[in-house]
Amino acid sequence: MELDPVRRELVKNALITIADNMIVTVVRTSRSTVVKNNLDFSSAICDADGVMVAQGLALPVHLGALMPALRGCLDHFGDDIHPGDILANNDPYSGASHLNDIFMFKPVYDRAGARVAFMSLILHHTDMGGRVPGGNACDSSEIFQEGLRIPPSKIYERSAPNATLMRIIEHNVRVPVKVLGDVRAQVAALHLGAREMERLIGEYDTAELRAYMTGLVDYAERLTRVGIAALPDGSVEFDDWIDDDGVGSEPVKIHLTLTVKGDEMVLDYTGTSPQTTGALNPNYWFTASCSYAAIRTVLPADMPNNAGFYRPITVVAPEGSFVNPRFPAPVGARGQGGHRVRMVVMGALAKLLPGRMPACCGGSEFGIAIAGWGRDRAPFLVFDFHNMTGHGALPDRDGQDAGPWCLGNLANVPVEVMEAENPVRIDEYGFLPDTGGAGRFRGALGIARQYRLLAEEALLQVRSDRQRSRPWGLAGGGPGAGGACLLNPDSPREEVLPGKFMRRMTKGDAFCVRMAGSGGYGDPFARAPEAVREDVLDGKVTVGHAAEAYGVAIDPETLAVDAPATAKLRARRGGRNRPRRPRATVAVSPARG
C-alpha cells in the first residue's frame, strides 16, 4: 500500500514513545544500582516476525542484540506463543549476549487475535549465580561456570507467572531481593508497553499498521544506504589490542578491514586473534551490535533506529576467533572485548574520514564487583561499571572531561547511593592530572575512583584494561596515559595489581582504579600556550608536564606563560613532541572521615 510520509512519522514517534515509556517504568521500579543508576538496559518494539521497528532511548551497543535473542525464542516455541506469554532468554548460544543480560519479550495482539508486535526489554541483572559474584569474572574457562543459563523459556505463560523458573532464579543468585526486584520491574514495563501498544493498534487497521511498521524499516534502510553512499569508497585496516585475556595470555589483537563500496559496507574481522581461554570473548551478535553502534555515529542523526539500519552492513567474524567464539566458551566479561571492537571501528573510520573523527576515548573499560556479608549476615554486592573517562580530542576542540561516551552511554552511580546500600566508602573520585593525551587539542583526563571496605571481608573482582594498550591519538596527538590498579595505595601495604584479577579484601582495605586518559589530536607544540596555561590553572596539567609535553614554560609562582622560555623549548625540540609518560597522581578532595 502507498504510505503517507506524515502518517509514517506519527507511527514512528508513537512507537518510540511507547519504548521510552517502558524505560521510564524500569527506572522507577527497579531495585539495583546497575539498572536504576547505571541505566544498563534497553527497550525496543519488534513486529510479529521479530524484526525491530523502533528502539527506546537506551544503550547504543544493544542496537543489534535484541533480534537474535528473540529469534532464539521464536525458533524454539514456533506456534506455541499465546496472549499473556512473556518469553525470556539469556543464553549466548541461543542469540543472547551474556548471562547477566536477560532478554524478555511480550507478544501483543489485535482484537481478532492476530499477533502484531513484541514488546522487548534487556536488563543487566546484578548477579546470575556462578563461581564469582557479579558474573564478570575474566578467568572462567567455560560458560557453565558463569551462572544460571536460561534457554528460551516462558517466564509468564497465558498471564500466569512461571513460579518454578522464578524460584530457580531466586535460589541461584546472591542478592535475590535485587535480582527478583529487577525481574519484576522488567515484567511491569512490558505490561505497560503492551497496554500502550494495544491502544495504538486500536487506532489503526491492523494491515495498515503492519504496513507502516514495515515501511519504517524500509525507510531506515534507504536512509542508511544514502548515508553510506556519502562516505568515500575504499578499504581501510585498523588494529587495537587488549592487554591480556585475564588468564596470563599475551595481548589479544582485534584486526578490522572496513570496506565501503557504493551504498554498502563490510566489516571483516579476519586476522583477529583466536578465541581466548578467558571470558573476554564477545559472541558474534555482540560483536555485530558493537560494530553497528560505531557505524551509527557517522550516519545522519535523525534516521530511525531499527532493523533497516543493519541491511546494508555486513559483519564478518570468523568462527573460533576472539570476536566469535565457539561453544562452550565463556563470555561473561565480553564487555571488555566489545569496547575494543567499537574502538577498532572508530579507528578505521578515522582512516576513512581523516579530519572528522575523535581520538580514542579514555577509560579502562572498568567493571568491579565487591561481594560479601554485611550486618546480620545480609549479602551485599557492589557492582559498578565505569567504562569511560571522557572523549578523545577532536579536530577542533579538546575532549570533554568525564563526558558520556555515546557508544556506552552508561550513567554515573552516585557515591551516596553506593555508600547507602553497601558497606563501602568511596574515598576518592576525581581527575588525574597529566593523563589526557597531548595534542593541539588535549584528550580528556583519566579518573580515579577508590573503594574502601567497611565489612569484615569481601571478594574483589575487577575487569579493566588499557594499562599497556594506551588510548591512541590522531594526527600527531599523543596517547592517553595508561590505567593502573592499586590496593591500599600510598601506604606501606600498597600493591600494584594487574588489570584483571580476583582476590580477598579485609576490613579497611582500599582498592583504587586509575583509569586511562583519552587520546590527543594534532601536534602538541601547536597548542596555544594560553590553553596550556588554562589547563595548569585548572589543575589538569602540571607545570612540568606543560614544558615536557607541550613545550610551554609556566612560571611556577605566578603561573604566567614565560614567552621567551617557551620559544626556546619549542625551538630546541624542533616542534616535535617527545613527552614522558605522565605520572598518575590523583587530584581529589581529601578522603572523608
Stated pTM of the model: 0.93
Amino acid identity at 367: G
Which has the closest alpha carbon to 483: 405, 418, 409, 389? Answer: 389
How does residue 406 score in pLDDT terms, banded at 50, 70 and 90? low
Task: For residue 367, tell me if it sits in a domain.
Answer: yes
Q: Is 264 helix (H, G, I), strand (E, B) or coil?
A: strand
Query: Which tens digits make up the pLDDT trace of 309-344?
Result: 999 999 999 999 999 999 999 999 999 999 999 999
Task: For residue 334, tell me if it sits in a domain.
Answer: no
Contact criterion met (CB below 8 Å) for 470 and 341: no
How does residue 505 score in pLDDT terms, banded at 50, 70 and 90? very high
Task: For residue 375, tell me if it sits in a domain.
Answer: yes
Alpha-carbon span 359 to 343, nearest angstrom = 9
Angle at 167 between CA 162 and CA 168, to 5 degrees: 100
Query: Distances in Å between the alpha carbon of 272 and those of 234, 254, 256, 281, 285?
Result: 21, 5, 8, 11, 16
Range of the domain at 77: 5-221
Categorise residue 78: left if φ over 0, alpha if ψ from -120 to 50, beta otherwise: left
What is the maximum alpha-carbon separation in the chain?
A: 83
The b/e string for 294-317 (b: 16+ C-beta within 10 A; e otherwise) is: bbbbbbeeebbbbbbbbebbebeb
Task: For residue 538, tell me if it sits in a domain.
Answer: no
User: How many Cβ atoms from other residues are within 10 Å of residue 510's Cβ?
Assistant: 22
Grid cell for residue 540: 589538569
How does residue 57 score in pLDDT terms, banded at 50, 70 and 90? confident
Task: For residue 316, tell me if it sits in a domain.
Answer: no
φ, ψ dihedrals at 370, nearest 5°: -120, 115
Predicted confidence (pLDDT) at residue 589 exceeds the cutoff of 70: no
Which has the closest alpha carbon to 128: 157, 106, 97? Answer: 97
Mean pLDDT (whole number) for 160-173: 98
Show which of 221, 254, 280 is a domain's final residue.
221
Query: Which tens digits make up the pLDDT trace of 480-490?
Result: 999 999 999 99
Query: Which tens digits make up the pLDDT trace of 106-119?
Result: 999 999 999 999 99
Alpha-carbon span 413 to 425, nearest angstrom = 13
Q: How many domains does the chain have?
A: 2
So what's the pLDDT on residue 405? 66
Task: For residue 394, tell me if it sits in a domain.
Answer: yes
Amino acid identity at 409: N
Show which of 189, 206, 221 is a domain's final residue.
221
Terminal Cα distance for the chain, rounded: 69
How does residue 64 score in pLDDT terms, banded at 50, 70 and 90? confident
So what's the pLDDT on residue 574? 60
What is the overall mean pLDDT for the chain?
Answer: 93
Query: Which tens digits make up the pLDDT trace of 570-581?
Result: 998 764 444 443
Mean pLDDT (whole number) for 463-478: 96
How does residue 1 score in pLDDT terms, banded at 50, 70 and 90? confident
Q: Is 309 helix (H, G, I), strand (E, B) or coil?
A: helix
Of 77-86, 199-208, 284-293, 379-388, the least confident: 379-388
Contact criterion met (CB below 8 Å) for 370 and 426: no
Residues paired with 120 in a beta bridge: 44, 105
φ, ψ dihedrals at 567, nearest 5°: -60, -40
The fraction of the chain above a pLDDT of 90, given in percent, is 87
Task: For residue 121, tell me if it sits in a domain.
Answer: yes
Predicted confidence (pLDDT) at residue 585 exceeds the cutoff of 50: no
Contact criterion met (CB below 8 Å) for 313 and 441: no
E runs forming strands in 409-546: 424-432, 446-453, 457-463, 484-487, 495-497, 500-506, 510-514
Contact criterion met (CB below 8 Å) for 243 and 251: yes
Show which of 205, 221, 237 is a domain's final residue.
221
Mean pLDDT (whole number) for 475-498: 96
Task: For residue 91, tell me if it sits in a domain.
Answer: yes
Residues paired with 154 in a beta bridge: 87
Amino acid identity at 194: A
SS (H, E, C) 403-440: CCCCCCCCCCCCHHHHHHHCCEEEEEEEEECCCCCCCC
Residue appearing with cell numbers 482484537:
111
Of 56-65, 167-176, 211-220, the least confident: 56-65
The fraction of the chain above a pLDDT of 70, given in percent, is 96
